[in-house]
Structure 1
Amino acid sequence: MDAPETADRLPEVEGGPHLRTVAMPRDANASGDIFGGWTLSQMDLAGGTFAAEHAGGRVVTVAIEAMRFLRPIAVGDEVSCYCSLEKTGETSITVKVETWARGRGRGKPPEKVTEGVFTFVAVKKD
């Protein structure tokens, strides 16, 4: 098994994370781990905002590929999503999203918990 990625290797993206939030009890399952769907929605928000900035307008999610859940997120963890441009087409934008979590009060460095590749398509008002 590969060594966990730590703060020494956080993604180098301009402006830091594209989304940062704290995982709350309402987002957890009965075991105290954060639902994968909640994590996925945070990644979609971060990636969509990033893609909209690059597209200069509204975008919608059309595909999620290569999704990997690497570690659980706990209630109280600070969750950060980092986005990087993978490729662009005439109307599509593919974005890699990495999610990192830092345990509150645990003195541990951030760890990568999830990663995925999202494809967005630019749309007009009508």
Structure 2
Amino acid sequence: MLITFNTIVALESIRDTGAVASSRAAEIGLDILAQTIQVSPNDLDNITRFLILAREPIIQGIDKPHKTSIVFTLEEGPRVLFNGLAVFALREINLSKVSYFFTLLLNIFVIE
């Protein structure tokens, strides 16, 4: 099992902090408070994403399909979004989804 910050928070028994982890976290003594949190009857588009940071590359097996999400910001201006997405088209990389999130500080794009 990969020990992450959230797992460590849970292991340290910090009472006012929760952790999102796989059900395998129970193998090291953590309590499962809720399952299938990615599914909400009121929001069918709710998605839970997990980010893995590693010092060494993690090589995915080719026996199962997998998806990569990329989060990036762009400056304001003409053709900026087009140029940002064109790098994928020119390399024949299929994008299944492009999302846009506005915050007060940044315009955030997520592509899958």
TM range, smaller chain: under 0.3
Task: Specify the structure having the higher radius of gyration (Cα).
Answer: 2
Q: What is the TM-score of this pair, normalised by structure 2?
A: 0.24
Looking at secondary structure, tell me which structure has more strand per residue: 1
